[in-house]
């Protein structure tokens, strides 16, 4: 269950300050010490679940299910309702052996590869 009082703050800083903050791993906000981490520049489409573009620029005609990879919304997914384990559409498309995770999972190997590419394109000078 999500905590409605939790927020994620995104700040833009100079490269020098970014290096110090990410090196320390946390910052003080009000009277709390909070974890600080680099935000990924990776964009994932909510229609086709692919990477490198948003729904606005997607060329796929129909939405994909983030649970089973079918051509429907997750809310309409019979497998999700039945409690069937998820199938990652991106890993299945890449013909990987392990695809038993959601298409939005941070542990997805395809996502990790795309994240590395997106981060390498950012200039931290």
Mean pLDDT computed over 79-104: 94
Encode pLDDT of 33-91 as tens digits. Answer: 988 888 888 999 999 999 999 999 999 999 999 999 999 999 999 999 999 999 999 99
The per-residue b/e assignment along 66-84, b for 16 or more CB within 10 angstroms, e otherwise, is: bbbbbeeebeebebbeeee
How many structural domains does the chain have?
Answer: 2
Residues 85 and 48 grouped into a single domain: yes
CA distance 110 to 107: 9
DSSP letter assigned to residue 44: B
Residues 6 and 28 grouped into a single domain: yes
Residues 32 and 52 grouped into a single domain: no
Strand partners, 35: 26
Q: What is the pLDDT of residue 119?
A: 86
Residues 34 and 59 grouped into a single domain: no
Range of the domain at 27: 1-39
Per the domain annotation, does 111 fall within a domain? no
Kindly tell me if the per-residue pLDDT of 2 is higher than 70.
no
Encode pLDDT of 106-115 as tens digits. Answer: 999 999 999 9
Mean pLDDT computed over 24-36: 88
Encoded tokens for 89: 């559409």
Q: How confident is the model at residue 19 (pLDDT cuts 50, 70, 90)?
A: confident
Residues 46 and 34 grouped into a single domain: no
Residues 8 and 21 grouped into a single domain: yes
> Model pTM greater than 0.85?
no
Closest CA to 37 of 47, 46, 45, 27: 27
């Amino acid at each position: 269950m999500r905590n409605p009082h939790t927020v994620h703050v995104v700040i833009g800083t100079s490269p020098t300050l970014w290096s110090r903050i990410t090196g320390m791993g946390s910052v003080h906000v009000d009277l709390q010490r909070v974890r600080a981490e680099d935000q990924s520049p990776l964009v994932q489409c909510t229609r086709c679940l692919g990477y490198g573009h948003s729904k606005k620029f997607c060329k796929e005609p129909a939405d994909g299910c983030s649970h089973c990879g079918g051509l429907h919304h997750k809310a309409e997914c019979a497998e999700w309702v039945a409690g069937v384990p998820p199938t990652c559409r991106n890993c299945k498309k890449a013909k990987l052996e392990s695809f038993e995770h959601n298409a939005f999972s941070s542990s997805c190997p395809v996502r990790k590869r795309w994240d590395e590419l997106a981060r390498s394109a950012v200039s931290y000078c």
